[in-house]
Amino acid sequence: MSILREQALACVQASRTMAALDTAAKRRLLHAMADQLLFRQGDILQANASDMQAAMAKGTAGAMLDRLRLDPERLQAIAAAVRHVASLEDPVGQVTRREQRADGLRIERQRVPLGVIAMIYEARPNVTADAAALCLYAGNGVILRGGSEAVHSNTAIALALGQALQAQGLDPQAILLIEDLRRETMLELLQLVDIVDLAIPRGGEGLIRFVAEHARVPVIKHYKGVCHLFVDADADQRLALDLLIDGKTSRPGVCNALETLLVDARVAPEFLPKAAAALQARGVRMRGDVASRALVPVLEEATEADYAAEYLDLIIAIRVVEGVDAAIEHIRRHGSDHTEVIASRNPVSIERFIAGLRSAVVMVNASSRFSDGGELGLGAEIGISTTRLHAYGPMGAESLTIERYVVQGTGQTRHPVDA
Amino acid sequence: MSILREQALACVQASRTMAALDTAAKRRLLHAMADQLLFRQGDILQANASDMQAAMAKGTAGAMLDRLRLDPERLQAIAAAVRHVASLEDPVGQVTRREQRADGLRIERQRVPLGVIAMIYEARPNVTADAAALCLYAGNGVILRGGSEAVHSNTAIALALGQALQAQGLDPQAILLIEDLRRETMLELLQLVDIVDLAIPRGGEGLIRFVAEHARVPVIKHYKGVCHLFVDADADQRLALDLLIDGKTSRPGVCNALETLLVDARVAPEFLPKAAAALQARGVRMRGDVASRALVPVLEEATEADYAAEYLDLIIAIRVVEGVDAAIEHIRRHGSDHTEVIASRNPVSIERFIAGLRSAVVMVNASSRFSDGGELGLGAEIGISTTRLHAYGPMGAESLTIERYVVQGTGQTRHPVDA
- How close B412 gets to chain A, by Cα (Å)? 5
Instruction: Give the separation between CA B228 and CA A369, rounded to whole angstroms.
Output: 50
Task: Calculate mean pLDDT across residues A204-217.
Answer: 93
The band of B64, judged by pLDDT with boundaries at 50, 70 and 90, is confident
* pLDDT tops 80 at residue A350: yes
Instruction: Give the separation between CA A387 and CA B218, rounded to whole angstroms.
Output: 9
Sequence letter at residue A348: V
pLDDT at A123: 73
> Using an 8 Å Cβ cutoff, are B53 and B104 in contact?
no
A339-343 and A401-412 beta bridge pairing: unpaired
Cβ pair A366:B408 closer than 8 A: yes
Q: SS3 for chain B, per residue? A: CCHHHHHHHHHHHHHHHHHHCCHHHHHHHHHHHHHHHHHCHHHHHHHHHHHHHHHHHCCCCHHHHHHHCCCHHHHHHHHHHHHHHHCCCCCCCCEEEEEECCCCCEEEEEEEECCEEEEEECCCCHHHHHHHHHHHHCCCEEEEECCHHHHHHHHHHHHHHHHHHHHCCCCHHHEEECCCCCHHHHHHHCCCCCCCCEEEEECCHHHHHHHHHHCCCCECCCCCCCEEEEECCCCCHHHHHHHHHHHHHCCCCCCCCEEEEEEECCCHHHHHHHHHHHHHHCCCEEEECHHHHHHCCCCEECCHHHHCCCCCCCEEEEEEECHHHHHHHHHHHHCCCCEEEEECCCHHHHHHHHHHCCCCEEEEEECHHHCCCCCCCCCCCCEEEEEEECEEEEECHHHHEEEEEEEEEEEECCCCCCC
* pLDDT tops 70 at residue A210: yes
* Bridge partners, B384 (sequence order): B394
> Taking the CA of residue A57 as centre, how many other CA atoms within 13 Å lie in the half-sphere pointing to its CB?
7
Q: Which residues of A214-236 are buried (b: 16+ CB within 10 A; e: fewer)?
A: ebbbbbbbbbbbbbbbbbbbbbb
- How close B248 gets to chain A, by Cα (Å)? 11
B190 contacts in chain A (CB < 8 Å):
none
* pLDDT tops 90 at residue B337: yes
Instruction: Give the separation between CA A44 and CA A153, rounded to whole angstroms.
Output: 6
Q: What is the largest CA-CA distance in chain B?
A: 90
Sequence letter at residue A242: D
H/E stretch holding A394 reads strand A391-395
C-alpha closest to that of B246 among B284, B204, B301: B284
> Using an 8 Å Cβ cutoff, are B142 and B136 in contact?
yes
Provide DSSP, A224-259.
Answer: ---EEEEE-TT--HHHHHHHHHHHHHS-TTSTTSEE
Cβ pair B412:A369 closer than 8 A: no
**Sheet bearing A116-121, strands edge to edge:** A175-177, A141-145, A116-121, A198-202
Cβ pair B409:A213 closer than 8 A: no
Q: Which residues, 6+ apart, have CB-to-CB distance to B150 below 8 Å?
A: B51, B68, B122, B123, B124, B125, B128
Please name the member of A105, A365, A410 whose beta carbon is closest to the beta carbon of B408: A365
- How close B1 gets to chain A, by Cα (Å)? 18
Sequence letter at residue A304: E
> Using an 8 Å Cβ cutoff, are B92 and B111 in contact?
yes
| Helix, strand, coil % over all residues of chain A, rounded to 5 | 45, 20, 30
- How close A17 gets to chain B, by Cα (Å)? 10
> Using an 8 Å Cβ cutoff, are B181 and B148 in contact?
yes
Give residue B22's Cα distance to chain centre: 26
Find the closest chain B residue to A239 by CA distance. Answer: B411
- How close B34 gets to chain A, by Cα (Å)? 28
Best of B211, B255, B331, B417 to substitute, by most chain A Cβ atoms within 10 angstroms, is B417
∠ CA(B191), CA(B177), CA(B200), 5° rounding? 50
Q: How many residues does chain B have?
A: 419
A197 contacts in chain B (CB < 8 Å):
388-389
Please name the member of A218, A239, A246 whose beta carbon is closest to the beta carbon of B415: A246
pLDDT at A360: 97
Give residue B84's Cα distance to chain centre: 17
Question: CA quadruple B405, B409, B413, B414: dihedral positive or negative?
Answer: negative
Instruction: Give the separation between CA A239 and CA B54, rounded to whole angstroms.
Output: 68
pTM listed for this prediction: 0.94
pLDDT at B124: 87
Find the closest chain A residue to B215 by CA distance. Answer: A216
The band of B334, judged by pLDDT with boundaries at 50, 70 and 90, is very high
Instruction: Give the separation between CA B147 and CA A366, rounded to whole angstroms.
Output: 49
Give residue A391's Cα distance to chain centre: 10
Cβ pair B388:A197 closer than 8 A: yes
Instruction: Give the separation between CA B55 and CA B71, rounded to whole angstroms.
Output: 16
pLDDT in tens, B118-129: 999 987 899 999
A250 contacts in chain B (CB < 8 Å):
413-415
Instruction: Give the separation between CA B79 and CA B74, rounded to whole angstroms.
Output: 9
pLDDT at B204: 86
Please name the member of B107, B375, B404 whose beta carbon is closest to the beta carbon of A392: B404
Instruction: Give the separation between CA A302 and CA A260, rounded to whole angstroms.
Output: 11
pLDDT at A23: 98
The band of B419, judged by pLDDT with boundaries at 50, 70 and 90, is low
Q: C-alpha dihedral over B34, B26, B398, B119, to 10 degrees?
A: 50
pLDDT at B62: 83
Question: CA quadruple A63, A68, A71, A77: dihedral positive or negative?
Answer: positive
pLDDT at A124: 87
Cβ pair B417:A246 closer than 8 A: yes
Instruction: Give the separation between CA A201 and CA A222, rounded to whole angstroms.
Output: 8
Cβ pair A370:B402 closer than 8 A: no
C-alpha closest to that of B352 among B366, B339, B364: B364
pLDDT at A61: 86
Give the long-range contacts of residues A299-306, CB within 8 A, separation 24 or more. Answer: none
C-alpha closest to that of B338 among B192, B228, B199, B246: B228
pLDDT at A419: 67
pLDDT at B281: 97
pLDDT in tens, A103-148: 999 999 999 999 999 999 987 899 999 999 999 999 999 999 999 9
- How close A54 gets to chain B, by Cα (Å)? 36
pLDDT in tens, B362-397: 999 999 999 999 899 898 889 999 999 999 999 999
Task: Calculate mean pLDDT across residues A62-80.
Answer: 93
Sequence letter at residue B74: R
What does pLDDT average to over chain B?
96
pLDDT at A29: 98
Find the closest chain B residue to A212 by CA distance. Answer: B216
**Sheet bearing B175-177, strands edge to edge:** B175-177, B141-145, B116-121, B198-202
B196 contacts in chain A (CB < 8 Å):
none
pLDDT at A63: 81
> Using an 8 Å Cβ cutoff, are A321 and A352 in contact?
no
Instruction: Give the separation between CA B311 and CA B294, rounded to whole angstroms.
Output: 24
Give residue A303's Cα distance to chain centre: 29
For the beta carbon of residue A104, count every other beta carbon within 10 angstroms. Answer: 12
Cβ pair A105:B388 closer than 8 A: no
* pLDDT tops 80 at residue B200: yes
* pLDDT tops 70 at residue A291: yes
CA dist B194 → A18, A226, A387, B8, B197 (Å): 36, 16, 10, 10, 8
pLDDT at B96: 94
pLDDT in tens, A18-56: 999 999 999 999 999 999 999 999 999 999 999 999 999
Identify the DSSP state of A302: P
- How close A77 gets to chain B, by Cα (Å)? 20
More confident residue, B419 or A170: A170
What domains appear along chain A, each with residue ranges and CATH number?
3-220+390-405 (3.40.605.10), 227-370 (3.40.309.10)
CA dist A365 → A295, A339, B361, B409 (Å): 25, 13, 43, 5
Instruction: Give the separation between CA B224 and CA B242, rounded to whole angstroms.
Output: 23
Find the closest chain B residue to A219 by CA distance. Answer: B218
Cβ pair A413:B101 closer than 8 A: no
pLDDT at A180: 95
For the beta carbon of residue A120, count every other beta carbon within 10 angstroms. Answer: 26
What does pLDDT average to over chain A?
96
Axis crossing angle, helix B72-86 with helix B126-137, rounded to the nearest 10 = 10
A338 contacts in chain B (CB < 8 Å):
none
For the beta carbon of residue A347, count every other beta carbon within 10 angstroms. Answer: 10
What percent of chain A stands above pLDDT 90?
Answer: 93
Sequence letter at residue A197: D
